[in-house]
């Protein structure tokens, strides 16, 4: 399977393009619906990189990401490399489920 063979990050459109390059005839809605189902079942993770764009991650264990705003690339950050020392007070009658950090990066202007 394309998305579960190895750790990867991808958008629905990237997956659709890859399927079509491989000769698969598949509707865009089918790709989106399948990714949504996989996410709901815990097979992949959805990552909202901006208000209009979801990316998907085949690694479901807790970890963080760098997001390159110029290239659209996600890169894993090992959770051991980042420590959150304190969370803000949570709203009453709630508990923290997870903490996921997305660090937006772009090439340096001098690079």
Residue 111 covered by a domain: no
Residue 88 covered by a domain: yes
On the question of pLDDT at 1 being above 80, the answer is no
Work out how many domains the chain is built from and give that number. Answer: 1
pTM for this prediction = 0.83
Residue 65 covered by a domain: yes
**What is the spatial distance between Cα 111 and Cα 36, in angstroms, rounded to a whole number?**
38
End-to-end CA distance of the chain: 38
**What is the spatial distance between Cα 13 and Cα 55, in angstroms, rounded to a whole number?**
10
In this structure, what CATH number is given to the domain that contains residue 86? Answer: 1.10.10.10
With cut-offs at 50, 70 and 90, classify the pLDDT of residue 88: very high
User: What is each CA distance from 12 to 17, 23, 36, in whole angstroms?
Assistant: 9, 17, 10
Mean pLDDT across the chain = 91
Residue 87 covered by a domain: yes
On the question of pLDDT at 111 being above 80, the answer is no
């Amino acid at each position: 399977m394309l998305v579960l063979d190895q750790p990867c990050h991808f958008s629905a459109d990237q997956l659709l393009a890859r399927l079509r390059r491989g000769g698969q005839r598949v509707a865009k809605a089918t790709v989106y619906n399948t990714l949504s189902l996989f996410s709901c079942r815990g097979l992949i993770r959805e990552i909202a990189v901006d208000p209009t764009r979801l990316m998907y991650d085949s690694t479901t264990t807790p970890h963080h990401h760098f997001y390159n705003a110029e290239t659209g690339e996600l890169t894993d950050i090992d959770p051991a490399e980042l420590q959150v020392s304190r969370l803000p007070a949570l709203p009453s009658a709630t508990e923290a489920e997870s903490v996921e950090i997305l660090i937006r990066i772009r090439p340096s202007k001098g690079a």
